[in-house]
Chain A
Amino acid sequence: MESYIPIIVLLGIALVLALLLMSLSRLLGPFRPNTNKLNPYESGMDPVGQARERYSIGFYLVAMEFIIFDLEVVFLFPWAVKFTELGFGTFVAMVIFIIILFIGLFYTLKKGTIYFELKPSISNRT
């Protein structure tokens, strides 16, 4: 456990440094806000509506795929460190595990879930 203490100290120092930089800029910089400055930037136009509207479902699908593969990697980590000691049986088990996930990956790729292709119905929407 003691080897984790430098990490905590480093986290603390980084936080202090960031706070220091921010407060320095507060001290040295001007502070004269007005409505034009505080508007969201929209290439010089008056902002239209809010930014937080609906966006492409593709992003959600990518996030879901990512969760699956990230979990798979978490399972691979302990095996990768000790796999020569665990022998050939676990190797075969891991290959089967990877193949099962690959069937899923190829299915989603075939379905075209991760492509950000604009369907005509979306691109023609006004």
Chain B
Amino acid sequence: MIEFLENITPSTTMALVIHAMIPLGLILVYALFAIWMERKVAAHVQDRLGPMRVGWHGWAQTIADMLKLLQKEDIIPTDASRFLFRFAPFLIFVASYAAFAVIPFSSGYIGSSINIGVFYLLAITSLLTLSVIMAAWASNNKWSLLGGMRSAAQMVSYEVPTIMSVLSVIVVAGSLNLMTVTEMQSGNEILGFLPNWLIFQNPFLLVAFVIFFVSILAESHRVPFDLPESESELVAGYQTEYSGMRWGIFMLAEYADMLLLSLLGVVLFFGGWNSPFGTFMDGPVWGFFWFMLKGMLLVFVMMWIRWTLPRYRVDQLMRICWNILIPASFVNFVLIALWEMIF
């Protein structure tokens, strides 16, 4: 590392910065799009039109909202712990965006091909729990604290099944680098026409995907597990005291987290940037298209579930995790390992 820093030149610095900017720019564009999409999906599920005024079918509504948020007054309550209150949004933003560094967006682009990719991703997303509880504690507000405690309990509990279902894939793939995991899934050989995606390779991996999807719904605070910010009982959970752009940062981070976990699911179970038609429409650019398409489909399913299912109670939520998901994920993990041993 020291040698690398000694040899660094302005042009390599520029290249590095641009290289690192790609996921960041992408996620900002995605967040603007996803917030609009969430409103449109919600509206059409309820037989409404949703935002229609700003631009064609209201596409610029989110930009208008961001401009409004920027002009809002930034309030820090007198009873709050000032340092922690200010620090929490930065931590959540940095943690959720830095995790994108190990996601392979196409066969030609990965932020950083470290050999412990998934491990790094899971480690840095645990910082989200920390920042949520930091925000909740610093606000010194009853709603915030209740939401924050619930959120911490929920996120740490559902982290175990998430990691176990990720590990089930690692057992099959034999690598922690997500690029290697994706390359392993190229080709169309299962039953002669199905792509070599891991979800089709092994019946237990289908179970692992179901566990993974339920867990990421809880990890990213989506309905039916949105107890931390259930607006009908806790006002806004840990975000209650935040206003203006600080709140905007929380919202951006939440949408980024949703995309991150969906893209992780796509890489692990649905072949990442591989085209579903074998070599047809394959290549770095098409790879990026397929990858984002699959990711957005999973995000869409999450939005769809939001308007379909009611919310669980706290004790039901914990019971689902500790009584069902954790034992099931461990048993499933052992079965996958056994399957890999035998075949």
* A41 CB contacts on chain B under 8 angstroms: 141, 143, 235, 240-241
Instruction: Tell me whether A122 is interfacial, beta carbon within 8 Å.
Output: no
Contacts A76-B167, A84-B340: A5 and B315 contacting too (C-beta < 8 A)?
no
Distance between Cα atoms of A17 and B117 in the complex (Å)? 24
Distance between Cα atoms of A70 and B122 in the complex (Å)? 11
Instruction: Tell me whether B249 is interfacial, beta carbon within 8 Å.
Output: yes
Distance between Cα atoms of A90 and B141 in the complex (Å)? 50
Asked whether, in the complex, the Cβ of B171 is within 8 Å of the Cβ of A83, the reply is yes
Interface size grouping (class) on chain A: 35 or more
Number of contacts between A and B (CB, 8 Å)?
A: 213
Instruction: Give the contacting residue for A6; candidates B19, B153, B160; CB below 8 A.
Output: B19
Closest chain A CB from B70 CB (angstroms): 5
Asked whether, in the complex, the Cβ of A13 is within 8 Å of the Cβ of B89, the reply is no
Instruction: Give the contacting residue for A51; candidates B145, B337, B340; CB below 8 A.
Output: B145
Closest chain B CB from A3 CB (angstroms): 5
Closest chain A CB from B265 CB (angstroms): 18
Asked whether, in the complex, the Cβ of B174 is within 8 Å of the Cβ of A91, the reply is no
Distance between Cα atoms of A56 and B150 in the complex (Å)? 11
* CB proximity to B under 8 Å, residues A108-126: 109, 114-117
* CB proximity to A under 8 Å, residues B16-57: 16-17, 19-21, 23-24
Asked whether, in the complex, the Cβ of A28 is within 8 Å of the Cβ of B77, the reply is no
Asked whether, in the complex, the Cβ of B98 is within 8 Å of the Cβ of A11, the reply is yes
Closest chain B CB from A32 CB (angstroms): 7
Instruction: Tell me whether A63 is interfacial, beta carbon within 8 Å.
Output: yes
* A15 CB contacts on chain B under 8 angstroms: 90, 93-94
Please choose the segment from B195-203, B270-278, B294-302, B323-331 that sits at the chain A interface, where 4 or more of its residues have CB less than 8 A away.
Answer: B323-331
11 A-B residue contacts at CB 8 Å?
A7-B111, A10-B98, A21-B245, A21-B249, A24-B245, A37-B73, A40-B139, A40-B241, A43-B235, A55-B146, A105-B326
